[in-house]
Amino acid sequence: MKGEIAKTREERAARLRQTGFEGTYCHRSIVKRPSLIRSLLSWCGAIATIALSGLALATSTYRAEQCSTGAGGGTQGCSQLALPFAEMTARFPLQLAGPVVFLATLSLCSVASAMLSRGDARARVLGGALAGAHAMLALPTAFALPQPFFAAVPFLAAAYAGSIIDLLAAAVVVGGGWIVAAVTLETLYRVIPPIPGFLDLAFPYWSFATALGVGAGAIAGALGRRLPLTRALTGVYLTLGAAALVVQVPLHAFFYPNDAYRAPGGPVLVVPSWLAAVNAVLLPPTFRLWLRVPWAVALESTALTFAGAAIAIAGPLIALAMLRPSG
């Protein structure tokens, strides 16, 4: 029996070498190529993103800024106009650069992720990272975008899920996570005074947590981890949720010294600064424990997380250049 099994494996390896798929199978850690369903799911996400990008460009109205100059060459004043795509292209093509680059990046991330979903383990790791980048661009900026780009995120996540059980469990975790976050925030601010600026960040912050869980889970799935999406989303939700609760203590002391509200002068960066500091401490142990990666990889993943946060912050600024469809 052992000889037959060994012979079968040798024949399988020989066939893989002939077809150029050598390395798809290994002994105990078996990394199987995604099925046709996984490939179809990933391309559904990519096609949906491309279609929504084209629809957004064609049907949106855009905010253009027109400035007049005086005889001496100085600027006399500027006015803002809301123009359709055709007129915007004819009159202010350079001001379309922001929305076009944003939508092109979103589309390229989805297409590259779909193409890499049929590759080997290394290619799928890169594809999972691109799926996470797509989620970071689509989810935190959902309130500012003219089309529901977040609808493509579940398709790309499903293409990198460990199994159908992992996908269903991850969906339950996401739904439960959003419900628990909303209930916790509502209950918290019935007990203590609300923190200025925190409510404005609540939706992008939790959307970023979801995107981070999708990206980390997709990468872990490519590496053959068990229930990668479920584990990553659960760990990220617990970590970022704990950070949001911990920062309430120093923020309350800052905004309400002696239980009296103090209006800070100038732009308030206290809330994101405290969130970043606490998450920088909590995220490495999260990646280490929940995804079972070495500490070096956990630290690198934390650095990539903050790079993703920079993208999630810059995204709305670019997306605000595009108005929602009028009418």
8 Å CB contact between 46 and 111: yes
Instruction: Give residue 140's identity as a one-letter amino acid code.
Output: P
According to DSSP, the residues that pair with 61 across neighbouring strands are 84
What are the domain boundaries of the chain? Answer: 1-30, 35-319
What is residue 74's predicted lDDT score, i.e. its pLDDT? 57
The values of phi and psi at residue 322, to 5°, are -110, 125
For the question of whether the overall pTM of this predicted structure is more than 0.85, the answer is no
The percent of the chain in helix, strand and coil, each rounded to the nearest 5, is: 70, 5, 25
Q: Which residue has the tokens 């479920």?
A: 230
Q: Kindly give, in sequence order, each residue whose CB lies less than 8 Å from that of residue 282, ignoring residues fewer than 6 positions away.
A: 239, 242, 243
8 Å CB contact between 204 and 235: no
Instruction: Give residue 230's identity as a one-letter amino acid code.
Output: T
For the four alpha carbons of 54, 55, 56 and 62, in that order, the dihedral sign comes to positive
First to last CA, the chain: 72
8 Å CB contact between 208 and 140: yes
Joined tokens for residue 300: 């690198």
Q: Kindly give, in sequence order, each residue whose CB lies less than 8 Å from that of residue 208, ignoring residues fewer than 6 positions away.
A: 136, 139, 140, 240, 308, 309, 312
For the four alpha carbons of 114, 116, 121 and 127, in that order, the dihedral sign comes to negative
Q: Kindly give, in sequence order, each residue whose CB lies less than 8 Å from that of residue 117, ignoring residues fewer than 6 positions away.
A: 34, 38, 39, 42, 124, 127, 159, 160
Per-residue pLDDT tens listing for the chain (327 residues): 444 444 455 555 554 444 333 433 333 333 444 467 888 899 999 999 999 999 988 888 887 777 776 555 555 667 777 788 888 888 888 878 888 888 899 999 999 999 998 888 888 889 999 999 999 988 887 877 878 899 999 999 999 988 889 999 999 999 999 999 999 999 988 888 888 888 888 898 999 999 999 999 999 888 888 889 999 999 999 999 999 999 999 988 888 888 777 776 655 678 888 999 999 999 999 988 888 888 988 898 899 888 888 877 777 666 666 655 444
